Amino acid sequence: MENKIIYGVTGIFDTPDEIISAAKQVKSSGFERFDVHSPYPIHGMPKAMRLGASPLGYFALVFGLTGAFAAFALMTYLMGYDYPLIISGKPFIPIPAFIPVTFEVTVLLASVGTVLAMLFLLFKLPNNSHPLHDTDYMKKVSSNKFGVCIEAKDEKFNEAEVIEFLKSIGAKDIEVIYYDNEALNFKVNIFEWMFVAFLVVSALVVSGATYIVLNKLMFAPPFNWMMEQHRLDAQVESKFFGKGNFSMRVAPAGTVSRNSNQFKFSGQPELADAKLINPLIPTEENLRKGMKKYDIYCSPCHGYYGIGDARLNGQFPNPPSLHSEKVRNWGDGHIFYVITEGQNSMPSYSSQLTNEEKWAIVLYVRALQRAMNAKEEDVK
């Protein structure tokens, strides 16, 4: 017992009336570091202990406002500026339609944030090594008794005097609580073999499971990733229209579509290479536009830097690098041609991109090529 550090002295009371008056007397005797323990909240106890108002309302206000502003700002930016789309003829920033999500995020952040702040900041939980745990005192106050604990950290604390004081206000079962030496001297040792083994095993399990799920399981049936589809293909002979007919109906000969923007060099890459000149100049604006469109349409296969290292690598025939000798020696017109007409597995992007956007992509691809194969004078 000698070398143990004292935490505090506790006393037990039987009824809620007694504990309220005990709390009042402890407080008025000048103790500050004391606490009252009871199996349920007792009405009037905060007043008896003279506790100030709970700060949690302010936490909720701050978290709630953060949620509201964050949700509203995010939606406004995404729908109004980053990728504006006209949906059901509504404006780009339809404020009434933003109300539900704003409300939900406000409630979510306010509730969860306040609870976490209360548990972790105010209460400093989880704490299972507190000296009060596993004492007879705790067993009583968690069930049917009420208790007062005066802590040794209080300025007026003196073991004998406090015990006398508690007796004088009617406390029973007075108990002196000590810190657990084992808990006090506990040092975290991260090189303990059990812990290291646990880390190694969990790393192996997590990485193994991730590998199996992402590389094997996700490609087992029924996950066919739309590569097999039971549908009519436009260029396949149709059972419905009879032999010699495609599923796609062929337009009468000589038909020209409205707003036709026919590509003059269809099927003639060399000619396109020779005749077409990029009408755009490499301003920052044009390059940014090219980058955005490149990231949307080209990067899924070619990768962000044109190396051909994208996420889809391995699932389709690997796309070639854009930094090969061949592509670098192509004229702008040839790259434009490939975007317009497609090549091998690559489809045409004519329906997704305007001519101007295609030229902007060409500019950006040129910039990427220059960056990967910089010349001496570029560095200067």
CB of 363 to other proteins, least distance (A): 19
Q: Which is nearer to other proteins, 133 or 328 (CB)?
A: 133
Half-sphere exposure (Cβ direction) of 49: Cα atoms closer than 13 Å: 19
Q: Which is nearer to other proteins, 84 or 208 (CB)?
A: 84
How far is it, in rounded angstroms, from Cα 94 to Cα 76?
9
CB atoms within 10 A of CB 191: 6
Half-sphere exposure (Cβ direction) of 184: Cα atoms closer than 13 Å: 10
CB of 261 to other proteins, least distance (A): 24
What is the DSSP annotation of 46-75? HHHTT----THHHHHHHHHHHHHHHHHHHH
Q: Which is nearer to other proteins, 96 or 244 (CB)?
A: 96
- The answer to whether 334 and 269 are in contact (CB under 8 A) is yes
- The answer to whether 116 and 124 are in contact (CB under 8 A) is no
CB of 362 to other proteins, least distance (A): 20
Q: Which is nearer to other proteins, 216 or 375 (CB)?
A: 216
Q: Which is nearer to other proteins, 97 or 176 (CB)?
A: 97
CB of 132 to other proteins, least distance (A): 6
CB of 102 to other proteins, least distance (A): 9
**Amino acid, res. 152:** A
Q: Which is nearer to other proteins, 101 or 200 (CB)?
A: 101
CB of 80 to other proteins, least distance (A): 10
Helix (H) or strand (E) holding 151: strand 146-151
Q: Which is nearer to other proteins, 42 or 327 (CB)?
A: 42
3-state secondary structure of 206: helix
For 48, the token pair is: 């008896």
How far is it, in rounded angstroms, from Cα 308 to Cα 323?
9
How far is it, in rounded angstroms, from Cα 224 to Cα 219?
6
For residue 222, cis peptide bond before it (omega within 30 degrees of 0): yes
CB of 280 to other proteins, least distance (A): 21
How far is it, in rounded angstroms, from Cα 289 to Cα 286?
5
Q: What is the DSSP letter of 266?
A: T
Q: Which is nearer to other proteins, 10 or 278 (CB)?
A: 10
CB of 3 to other proteins, least distance (A): 25
